[in-house]
Amino acid sequence: MYIKNSWYVAADADELGRSLLGRWICDEPVVLFRKEDGTAVILEDRCPHRKFALSKGELVGDEIQCGYHGMRFDGAGTCTFVPAQDNIPPRLKARAYPVEERHGWVWIWMGDPAQADAELIPDYHWNTAEGWAPVKGYLNFSADYKLLVDNLLDLTHETYVHQRTIGNHAVAHTPMETRAEGDTVYVDRVMKDCAPPPLFKKARGFTTNIDRWQHIWFKPPANIWIDAGGVPTGDNDRTNALNWMVLNSITPERAGSCHYFWGVSRCFSQDDAEIGELIRNQIIATFEEDRDIIETQQRYIETDPNDKPLLAANCDAGNVHARRIIDRLIAAEAAA
Amino acid sequence: MYIKNSWYVAADADELGRSLLGRWICDEPVVLFRKEDGTAVILEDRCPHRKFALSKGELVGDEIQCGYHGMRFDGAGTCTFVPAQDNIPPRLKARAYPVEERHGWVWIWMGDPAQADAELIPDYHWNTAEGWAPVKGYLNFSADYKLLVDNLLDLTHETYVHQRTIGNHAVAHTPMETRAEGDTVYVDRVMKDCAPPPLFKKARGFTTNIDRWQHIWFKPPANIWIDAGGVPTGDNDRTNALNWMVLNSITPERAGSCHYFWGVSRCFSQDDAEIGELIRNQIIATFEEDRDIIETQQRYIETDPNDKPLLAANCDAGNVHARRIIDRLIAAEAAA
Amino acid sequence: MYIKNSWYVAADADELGRSLLGRWICDEPVVLFRKEDGTAVILEDRCPHRKFALSKGELVGDEIQCGYHGMRFDGAGTCTFVPAQDNIPPRLKARAYPVEERHGWVWIWMGDPAQADAELIPDYHWNTAEGWAPVKGYLNFSADYKLLVDNLLDLTHETYVHQRTIGNHAVAHTPMETRAEGDTVYVDRVMKDCAPPPLFKKARGFTTNIDRWQHIWFKPPANIWIDAGGVPTGDNDRTNALNWMVLNSITPERAGSCHYFWGVSRCFSQDDAEIGELIRNQIIATFEEDRDIIETQQRYIETDPNDKPLLAANCDAGNVHARRIIDRLIAAEAAA
Using the Cβ of C66 and the Cβ atoms of chain A, whether some distance falls under 8 Å is answered with yes
By Cβ distance, the residue of B300, B304, B314 closest to A84 is B314
Question: How many CB atoms within 10 Å of residue A179?
Answer: 12
Q: Which domain range does residue A51 map to?
A: 7-111
Q: What is the dihedral of CA A285, A290, A295, A300, to 10 degrees?
A: 140
Contact residues, chain C, for B27 at CB < 8 Å: 303, 305
Distance in angstroms (rounded) separating the CA atoms of residues A22 and A69: 18
Across the interface, whether the CB atoms of A70 and B311 are under 8 A apart is answered: no
User: Which pLDDT score is estimated for B80?
Assistant: 98
Across the interface, whether the CB atoms of A92 and B311 are under 8 A apart is answered: yes
Across the interface, whether the CB atoms of A70 and B159 are under 8 A apart is answered: yes
Using the Cβ of A92 and the Cβ atoms of chain B, whether some distance falls under 8 Å is answered with yes
Interface test with C, best of B69, B82, B254 (most C CBs within 10 A): B69
Residues C99 and C161 in one domain: no
Question: How many CB atoms within 10 Å of residue A213?
Answer: 17
Distance in angstroms (rounded) separating the CA atoms of residues C322 and C319: 5
Q: Residue A6: phi, psi to the nearest 5?
A: -165, 155
- Long-range Cβ contact pairs of B111-120 (< 8 A, separation 24 or more): B111/B3, B111/B4, B111/B5, B111/B6, B111/B333, B112/B4, B112/B5, B115/B5, B116/B7, B120/B6, B120/B7
Across the interface, whether the CB atoms of C301 and B51 are under 8 A apart is answered: yes
List, in sequence order, every beta strand (DSSP E) within chain C: 7-12, 21-25, 28-34, 40-44, 58-60, 63-65, 72-73, 79-81, 99-102, 105-109, 133-141, 177-181, 184-194, 210-219, 223-232, 242-252, 258-266
* Confidence band of C305 (pLDDT split at 50, 70, 90): confident
Min distance C203 CA to chain A CA atoms (Å)? 46
Residues B158 and B263 in one domain: yes
Nearest to C122, CA basis, from C228, C253, C223: C223
User: Which pLDDT score is estimated for B4?
Assistant: 98
CATH of residue C100: 2.102.10.10
Residues A326 and A221 in one domain: yes
Min distance B265 CA to chain A CA atoms (Å)? 26
Instruction: Name the amino acid, one letter, at C76.
Output: A
Q: Give a yes or no: residue A174 inside a domain.
A: yes
* Local structure of residue B238 (DSSP, 8 states): G
For the residues C25-52, what does the mean pLDDT come to? 98
Q: Could you tell me what percentage of chain B is helix, strand and coil, using 3-state DSSP and rounding each to the nearest 5? A: 30, 35, 35
User: Which pLDDT score is estimated for B305?
Assistant: 76
Domain closes at, from B63, B79, B114: B114
Across the interface, whether the CB atoms of B313 and A67 are under 8 A apart is answered: no
Residues C109 and C138 in one domain: no
Across the interface, whether the CB atoms of B84 and C174 are under 8 A apart is answered: yes
- Would you say C54 and C20 are in contact if contact means Cβ atoms under 8 Å apart? yes
Using the Cβ of B65 and the Cβ atoms of chain C, whether some distance falls under 8 Å is answered with yes
Nearest to A145, CA basis, from A29, A2, A5, A4: A2
Q: Give a yes or no: residue C2 inside a domain.
A: no
Residues B215 and B187 in one domain: yes
Q: How many Å is the Cα radius of gyration of chain C?
A: 22
* Confidence band of C261 (pLDDT split at 50, 70, 90): very high
By Cβ distance, the residue of B49, B68, B83 closest to C161 is B68
Across the interface, whether the CB atoms of B172 and A69 are under 8 A apart is answered: yes
- Would you say B178 and B318 are in contact if contact means Cβ atoms under 8 Å apart? yes
Using the Cβ of B51 and the Cβ atoms of chain A, whether some distance falls under 8 Å is answered with no
Residues A87 and A156 in one domain: no
| Peptide bond preceding C221 in cis form (omega within 30 of 0) | yes
**pLDDT per residue over C232-256, tens digit each?**
999 999 899 999 999 999 999 999 9
Using the Cβ of B315 and the Cβ atoms of chain A, whether some distance falls under 8 Å is answered with yes
Q: Give a yes or no: residue B119 inside a domain.
A: no
Any idea which of A8-12, B309-313, C103-107 has the lowest mean pLDDT? B309-313
Question: How many CB atoms within 10 Å of residue A333?
Answer: 16
Using the Cβ of A56 and the Cβ atoms of chain B, whether some distance falls under 8 Å is answered with yes
Contact residues, chain B, for A22 at CB < 8 Å: none
Q: Which residue does chain B place closest to A72, by CA atoms?
A: B160
Q: Give a yes or no: residue A320 inside a domain.
A: yes
Helix (H) or strand (E) holding C155: none
Cβ-based burial of A143 (10 A; exposed 0-12, middle 13-18, buried ≥19) = buried
Domain closes at, from C120, C137, C170: C120
User: Which pLDDT score is estimated for C306?
Assistant: 79
A205 Ramachandran zone, left/alpha/beta (phi>0; psi -120 to 50): left
Residues C26 and C169 in one domain: no
| Peptide bond preceding B221 in cis form (omega within 30 of 0) | yes
Q: What is the dihedral of CA C90, C94, C97, C100, to 10 degrees?
A: -100
The Cα-based distances of A237 to A54, A216, A243, A271 in angstroms read: 55, 22, 12, 20
Helix (H) or strand (E) holding A197: none
* Confidence band of B230 (pLDDT split at 50, 70, 90): very high
Using the Cβ of C310 and the Cβ atoms of chain B, whether some distance falls under 8 Å is answered with yes
Q: Which chains border C (3 or more CB–CB pairs < 8 Å)?
A: A, B
Distance in angstroms (rounded) separating the CA atoms of residues C21 and C54: 9
Q: Is pLDDT larger for residue A142 or for residue B304?
A: A142
Q: Which residue does chain C place closest to A175, by CA atoms?
A: C84
Residues A138 and A86 in one domain: no
Contact residues, chain A, for C56 at CB < 8 Å: 292-293, 296
Q: Give a yes or no: residue A144 inside a domain.
A: yes
Number of helices and strands in chain C (H, E): 6, 17
Across the interface, whether the CB atoms of C84 and A293 are under 8 A apart is answered: no
Q: Give a yes or no: residue B120 inside a domain.
A: no
Give the C window 111-150 contacts with B, CB below 8 Å: 150
Residues C102 and C148 in one domain: no
Instruction: Name the amino acid, one letter, at A146.
Output: K
B234, pLDDT greater than 80: yes
**pLDDT per residue over C143-168, tens digit each?**
999 999 999 999 999 999 999 999 99
One pLDDT digit (tens) per residue for chain A, 336 residues: 999 999 999 999 999 999 999 999 999 999 999 999 999 999 999 999 999 999 999 999 999 999 999 999 999 999 999 999 999 999 999 999 999 999 999 999 999 999 999 999 999 999 999 999 999 999 999 999 999 999 999 999 999 999 999 999 999 999 999 999 999 999 999 999 999 999 999 999 999 999 999 999 999 999 999 999 999 999 999 899 999 999 999 999 999 999 999 999 999 999 999 999 999 999 999 999 999 999 999 999 999 977 788 999 999 999 999 999 999 999 999 999
Distance in angstroms (rounded) separating the CA atoms of residues A84 and B162: 18
Q: Give a yes or no: residue B1 inside a domain.
A: no
Using the Cβ of A17 and the Cβ atoms of chain B, whether some distance falls under 8 Å is answered with no
Domain closes at, from A60, A88, A111: A111
Residues B28 and B107 in one domain: yes
List, in sequence order, every beta strand (DSSP E) within B237-295: 242-252, 258-266
Across the interface, whether the CB atoms of A160 and C65 are under 8 A apart is answered: yes
Min distance C69 CA to chain A CA atoms (Å)? 5
- Would you say B93 and B86 are in contact if contact means Cβ atoms under 8 Å apart? no
Distance in angstroms (rounded) separating the CA atoms of residues A111 and B132: 59
Across the interface, whether the CB atoms of B28 and C174 are under 8 A apart is answered: no
Mean pLDDT of all residues belonging to chain B: 97
User: Which pLDDT score is estimated for C81?
Assistant: 97
Min distance C29 CA to chain A CA atoms (Å)? 8
By Cβ distance, the residue of B46, B84, B85 closest to C300 is B46
- Long-range Cβ contact pairs of A271-277 (< 8 A, separation 24 or more): A271/A133, A275/A203, A276/A133, A276/A135
* Confidence band of B249 (pLDDT split at 50, 70, 90): very high
Q: Give a yes or no: residue C1 inside a domain.
A: no
Size of interface B-C (CB pairs under 8 A): 80
CATH of residue A161: 3.90.380.10
Q: What is the dihedral of CA C80, C84, C86, C90, to 10 degrees?
A: -50
Across the interface, whether the CB atoms of C89 and A304 are under 8 A apart is answered: no
Using the Cβ of B157 and the Cβ atoms of chain A, whether some distance falls under 8 Å is answered with yes
By Cβ distance, the residue of B48, B56, B83 closest to C311 is B48
* Residues above pLDDT 90, as percent of chain C: 97
Residues B320 and B220 in one domain: yes
**pLDDT per residue over B57-82, tens digit each?**
999 999 999 999 999 999 999 999 99
Q: Residue C66: phi, psi to the nearest 5?
A: -60, 135
Residues C25 and C165 in one domain: no
Count up the domains in chain A and report the number.
2
B278, pLDDT greater than 80: yes
- A255 Cβ partners below 8 Å, 6+ apart? A27, A144
